[in-house]
Amino acid sequence: MWHDPGMMWWHEVTAREPEFAARVRQRFQKTKQCTLATIRKSGAPRISATELDFTEDELWLGCIAGSVKARDLRRDPRLALHCGTIDIPDTHQGAWVGDAKLAGVAHESTDPDRPGGSHRFRIAVTEITYLTIAPSEDHLVLETWHPDRGLRRRRR
C-alpha cells in the first residue's frame, strides 16, 4: 500500500487538529452527496457524485462494482473531494456553513465480504481546505491543512 509522509489517515488528521477535523467532517456530512474528482485513463479529469463514510475514525469511499470511478481509482488513486454545495444566505452571511475540499490517495480495501463485489477505498489525506465567512461578515476565513505544514488560517 502506497503511503508517504506527505499524506495522513483521517485518524492522524484528527489527532493533530481535532477541532479543524471536526468542522471539516461536519461540513462533509451536512449533505449526503459530494463531488469526487478522479483521473480518466486518457488523463482527463472526471467528476462524479459520491458519498463519504467516516467510520472507525477513518475516511472511506464506496463505489458500485465495476463503476468508472472505481476503475479510475484503481488505475490512479489520486483524488479530490468537494462537499455538497450550499448557497450563501442573502442575509446573515456569517451563518453560512462553509465549503470544504480535500485531496488524497485512495487505498482499496481487500475485504472479501464487500457486498456485491462493490469497491471500498480508505482515503489518505494530502490536503484539506475549509472556507467560511467571518461572523463579522466583512471577510472570508480560509483554513488550509497539509501533513508537512500543518494548519494555516488566512483572511481574504
Query: DSSP label at 23?
Result: H
pLDDT reported for residue 3: 55
The predicted-structure confidence for 74-110, as pLDDT tens digits, reads as follows 999 999 999 987 777 777 777 778 899 999 999 998 7
For every residue of 32-101, DSSP letters joined together read: S-EEEEEE-TTS-EEEEEE-EEEETTEEEEEE-TT-HHHHHHHH--EEEEEPPP-PPPSS-GGG---EEE
Could you identify the residue written with the cell 479543524?
Answer: 20
pTM for this model (two decimals): 0.89
Instruction: Tell me the β-bridge partners of 147.
Output: none
Dist. CA 138–CA 155, nearest whole Å: 10
Domain segments of the chain: what residues? 8-126
The predicted-structure confidence for 101-135, as pLDDT tens digits, reads as follows 999 999 998 776 766 778 999 999 999 999 998 88
- What is the CATH T-level fold of the domain 8-126, as seen in this structure? Pnp Oxidase; Chain A (2.30.110)
Asked whether the predicted pLDDT for residue 1 surpasses 50, the reply is no
